[in-house]
Amino acid sequence: MSLRSEEMLHPVISIQAPAGAACRGTMACTAALARALAGRQQVTVTVECYPGVDQQEVLDLFLPLGFDTVIHADDCALPPAELDAALDRDLTDDRVFGIFTVRRLADFYPPDRLAAARQSVADGRRVLVYGVGATLVTEGDVLVYADITRWELQLRFRRGADNWRTARRGLPRLSKYKRGYFAEWRWGDKVKKTCLPVMDFYLDTTTGGSPALAEGGAYRSALDQAVRRPFRLVPYYDPGVWGGDWMKRTFDLPENGSNYAWSFDGVPEENSLLLGFGETVLETPAVNLVFARPRELLGERVHARFGTEFPIRFDMLDTIHGQNLSLQVHPLTEYIQDTFNMRYTQDESYYILDTAGEEGSVWLGIRTGTDPAAMADALRRAQAGGAPFDAARYVNCFPVKKHDHVLIPAGTVHGSGAGTMVLEISATPYIFTFKLWDWGRVDLDGKPRPIHLDHGLANIQWDRDTDYCRRNLLRQDRLVLEGPDGTVTMTGLAEREFIDTFRLTTARSLLLPRDGSVHMLNLVEGEEARITSPDGTFAPFTVHYAQTFILPEAAGAYRLESPSGQTVRAILARVRR
């Protein structure tokens, strides 16, 4: 793997911290904890675990410290079969979609079981309480928070791991992910938010067999440092049936036996951060920064609207030498609120990074004159095994070229065409995609991909026809600044969307003032660019072609610079004023 590829896959944020503030490895972590507990003959250590943490690894780390009482908090919860039954209403019988739970972890812990555990704590001298819900028993004298990244949880599901405290073993990975997304991770995040400000130690369990430990104060200081500078998230790349080879070639990605379809490198709820404490690198969910420092990261006005949710998402869709994406539609706001208990929907856009030839294509909107009933009937017959859906008869297919920006407000039928490299810029509720037609394909596992015709047909905006798309969704660029240092062009103008996008172009140095919103950017042209602070708030930060990066509001004004004097371009997204 090249040095460029290593930096691309593992961007480390260097942290200033006292020597010994973090360590990696079971023996090193146990030794650090032993030093913290030295001389304490009576002590309660509480290890709160995020659902999915390997709790045997936690025990391997803590048991050598010598405890006369060990309490497994999971045993205080409802029995697995009862917990499964209690979740059925929220999870529904759909393969993909559930309803965002409004319940809390404590709802599944009978009071008598918690009371018995607390009595055991009171009767013991050196007590270890560990597991999911450990803080429901007691916060203890020493609080350790054991964490894991969302992507690693998904990989473990694929390798056969089951959900937390379930009697339903060996479920399909979509079912496991659904339970995590709609239930377990919602409880876990609420508990996590209470632990981050007060924990004595943070335990990173993402790398199996190699835990990392940081002092709580050092971890919080690391977040303070990260939120005042530009940074990148740790990207991940995933294969898909329609995937292309552009990312593999451009990013020098490892050979995976197939093409890559997706890149996720701008989704804090999914991606992680690498915090470098000297030689020790700790991996932590990027959403922890959103939870712990929302005002500094998002800006006051964005925090006031979205709370501890990061509302902007960047990802990549690669169909170069691949296939069409599915035809799909995203729910309207009232539909996602009423049906899934989600507060806002996925308006999005496609920024065209590259095409296989001079032009690529995007499926967008309904062809003028289409009869909704006829299209719905054709979709249903195709899904039932009849004639394939004649997409070109009902849906527009527009040619696109590099640097075009296609706007896709919710309710618009869309999909990237083959031979097109897309930077997708959207609001964050990324799971709510209703597939209408998937070209008769099966997924990489040999099974048909989920289709949601009823959901999709309930949300299609039939008036978004050929003329509407040309007038409102294609080639909407508007120059807003032009000067000797470069240009700023507004490209995202869909009135129903809350995200504004701007293309920044310079061969010198372009100053970007702040506007009360976090900025997310991607370098869409040029080998590399440098981000600098006019007042020295942060050290110069280098980004390379097609890398996504975040400028927290607390980082202040910044400059986009071309070190080589060649033209560089970046696309910037912010929450609209």
Tell me the per-residue pLDDT of 91-128, one tens digit each, with 9 for 90 and over: 999 999 999 999 999 999 999 999 999 999 999 999 99
Tell me the per-residue pLDDT of 257-284, one tens digit each, with 9 for 90 and over: 778 999 999 999 999 999 999 999 999 9
Q: Averaged over 512-528, what is the pLDDT? A: 97
pTM of the model: 0.96
**pLDDT for position 381:** 97
Reported as a pLDDT band with limits 50, 70 and 90, residue 255 is confident
Cβ proximity of 25 and 207 under 8 Å: no
The Cα angle at residue 306 between residues 300 and 311, in degrees rounded to 5: 105
Q: Is the pLDDT of residue 1 over 90?
A: no
**pLDDT for position 169:** 96
Cβ neighbors of 12 (< 8 A, separation 6 or more) are 274, 275, 276, 281
Mean pLDDT of the chain: 95
Cβ proximity of 471 and 367 under 8 Å: no
**pLDDT for position 5:** 64
Tell me the per-residue pLDDT of 279-314, one tens digit each, with 9 for 90 and over: 999 999 999 999 999 999 999 999 999 999 999 999
Tell me the per-residue pLDDT of 405-446, one tens digit each, with 9 for 90 and over: 999 999 999 999 999 999 999 998 778 999 999 999 988 777
Handedness of CA 430, 436, 438, 444 (dihedral sign): positive
Domains of the chain: 21-226 (3.40.50), 238-271+294-472 (2.60.120.10), 478-575 (2.60.120.10)
Residue 174 phi, psi dihedral angles, 5° rounding: -65, -35
**pLDDT for position 6:** 74
Paired tokens of 368: 């003028």
